[in-house]
């Protein structure tokens, strides 16, 4: 007997992303509920608009006008559930949960008391490190003296190390510092992963007026996106590690579901401390020995979650059911299954070959 669930309108933000069409298309395949989709983006030419039932241009998630603009759209379109697609939007909306809930709108966002923590990677490392969660060695970078300190700690120029902003989306803004040019694996990723020498980066850092960054060792193991769907108290319904084909993940080149015991154990330990609700993901990086370390705790679902959905674990549908107070189905996870980019996701086939 099928579940009798009322039709619902769902809003996805950031529908200009590479995988947004796949996520929007997946909403049409929900088995227990009929979903009408609304997409929004800062770009009026966002590709996702052609896959949504309605589309609106909105301000940036960091714009003070953003929450009001989104609430106006939600009320006009009778939206019941909102899934943010960027950190900025998720953290901004997390501060407005009560205002949206007054209009019967559910936000897939972290609790308000976790916003500051999730908005700064260095603060997150400080917090989880104190609780015994494995985080890589790291140095906060606010001056060129901090750069020298990081270089000494990570044994540059013998070893490369990595620098990234303390805030911002996913793998954006990452820079490898290497005295020997590109390091192993860089050529498979985007040009943003190309290496700079320390003197060159220091010159750029000074010219740009500094800024808060974080430095850590360059770890050359595999990177996992761990999709998590949890109830309002942070108890997980699903926790699905996906191993990336390309380490950076941007542009998306595919991934596959990998039941890596150590990665799962680390994600579970982090979730026990953070107790994040709803739908989000952890990025976990393995070192050369296969030991996992937390890379990011993202306050919103990953776009590449589409790979999990198109392999039978429809996390968006399950999250909607949870918000509506319905039972979340338990599906057998097809470990080893995967997807390759864009068109293959839309066509809902062509799995990535299982890696050993």
Query: What mean pLDDT comes out for the span 227-242?
Result: 97
Cα angle value 318/349/2 (rounded, 5°):
35
Q: Is residue 79 pLDDT above 90, yes or no? A: yes
Spatial contact of 109 and 90, defined as CB atoms under 8 Å apart: yes
pLDDT tens profile 134-154: 899 999 999 989 999 999 999
pLDDT tens profile 312-346: 899 999 999 999 999 999 999 999 988 765 545 44
| Alpha-carbon torsion, ordered 176, 179, 180, 184, to 10 deg | -20
Query: What mean pLDDT comes out for the span 113-125?
Result: 94
How many of the other CB atoms lie within 10 Å of CB of 38?
Answer: 23
Question: What is the average pLDDT value for the chain, to the nearest integer?
Answer: 88
Give me the architecture of the 8-112 domain, per CATH.
Answer: 3-Layer(aba) Sandwich (3.40)
Q: Which helix (H) or strand (E) holds 82?
A: strand 79-83
Kindly report the length of the chain. Answer: 356
Query: What mean pLDDT comes out for the span 35-39?
Result: 97
How high is the pLDDT of residue 187?
A: 44
Where are the alpha helices (H) located in the chain, listed in sequence order? Answer: 20-26, 66-77, 87-94, 97-101, 115-118, 121-130, 144-153, 198-207, 261-274, 306-309, 315-323, 343-347
How high is the pLDDT of residue 327?
A: 95
Separation between Cα atoms, residue 220 and residue 218, nearest integer Å: 6
Q: Is residue 352 pLDDT above 70, yes or no? A: no
Q: Give the residue, 172 or 202, on which the prediction is more confident.
A: 202
Query: What mean pLDDT comes out for the span 150-173?
Result: 86
- Domain 116-121+220-347, classified CATH 3.30.470.20, yes or no: yes
Cα 344 from chain centre: 21
Separation between Cα atoms, residue 180 and residue 197, nearest integer Å: 8
Superfamily of domain 137-217: ATP-grasp fold, A domain (3.30.1490.20)
Spatial contact of 170 and 152, defined as CB atoms under 8 Å apart: no
Separation between Cα atoms, residue 340 and residue 349, nearest integer Å: 9
How high is the pLDDT of residue 306?
A: 87
Q: Is residue 307 pLDDT above 60, yes or no? A: yes
- The proportion of the chain whose per-residue pLDDT surpasses 70, expressed as a percent, equals 87
Query: What mean pLDDT comes out for the span 150-168?
Result: 92
Q: Is residue 356 pLDDT above 60, yes or no? A: no
* Among the listed residues 252, 307, 334, the one whose alpha carbon sits nearest the alpha carbon of residue 22: 307
pLDDT band at 20 (very low <50, low <70, confident <90, very high): very high
Residue 164: beta bridge partners?
Answer: 214
How high is the pLDDT of residue 260?
A: 96
Query: What mean pLDDT comes out for the span 221-231?
Result: 95
Separation between Cα atoms, residue 334 and residue 238, nearest integer Å: 13
Domain boundaries, the chain: 8-112, 116-121+220-347, 137-217
């Amino acid at each position: 007997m099928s579940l009798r669930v009322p039709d619902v309108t769902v809003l996805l933000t950031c529908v200009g992303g590479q995988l947004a069409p796949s996520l929007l298309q997946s909403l049409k395949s929900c088995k227990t509920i009929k979903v009408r989709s609304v997409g929004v983006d800062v770009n009026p030419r966002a590709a996702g608009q052609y896959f949504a039932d309605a589309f609106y241009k909105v301000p940036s998630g960091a714009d003070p006008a953003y929450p009001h603009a989104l609430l106006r759209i939600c009320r006009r379109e009778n939206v019941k559930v909102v899934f943010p697609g960027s950190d900025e939007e998720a953290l901004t909306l997390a501060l407005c949960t009560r205002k949206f809930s007054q209009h019967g709108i559910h936000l897939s966002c972290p609790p308000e008391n976790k916003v500051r923590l999730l908005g700064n990677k260095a603060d997150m490392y400080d917090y989880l490190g104190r609780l015994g969660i494995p985080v890589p060695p790291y140095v906060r970078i606010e001056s060129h003296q901090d750069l020298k300190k990081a270089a000494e700690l990570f044994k540059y120029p013998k070893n490369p190390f990595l620098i990234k902003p303390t805030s911002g989306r996913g793998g954006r803004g990452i820079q490898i510092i290497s005295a020997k040019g590109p390091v192993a694996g860089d050529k498979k990723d985007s040009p943003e992963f190309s290496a700079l020498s320390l003197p060159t980066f220091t010159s750029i850092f000074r010219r740009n007026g500094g800024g808060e960054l974080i430095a850590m060792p360059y770890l050359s193991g595999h990177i996992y996106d761990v999709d998590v769907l949890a109830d309002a108290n942070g108890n997980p319904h699903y926790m699905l590690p996906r191993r990336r084909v390309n380490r950076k993940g941007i542009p998306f080149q595919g991934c596959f579901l990998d039941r890596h015991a150590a990665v799962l154990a680390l994600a579970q330990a982090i979730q026990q401390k953070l107790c994040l609700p709803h739908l989000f993901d952890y990025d976990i990086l393995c070192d050369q020995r296969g030991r996992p370390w937390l890379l990011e705790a993202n306050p919103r679902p990953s776009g590449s979650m589409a790979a999990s959905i198109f392999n039978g674990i429809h996390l968006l549908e399950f999250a909607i059911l949870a918000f509506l107070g319905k039972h979340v189905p338990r599906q057998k996870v097809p470990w080893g299954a995967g997807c390759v980019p864009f068109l293959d996701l839309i066509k809902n086939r062509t799995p990535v070959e299982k890696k050993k």
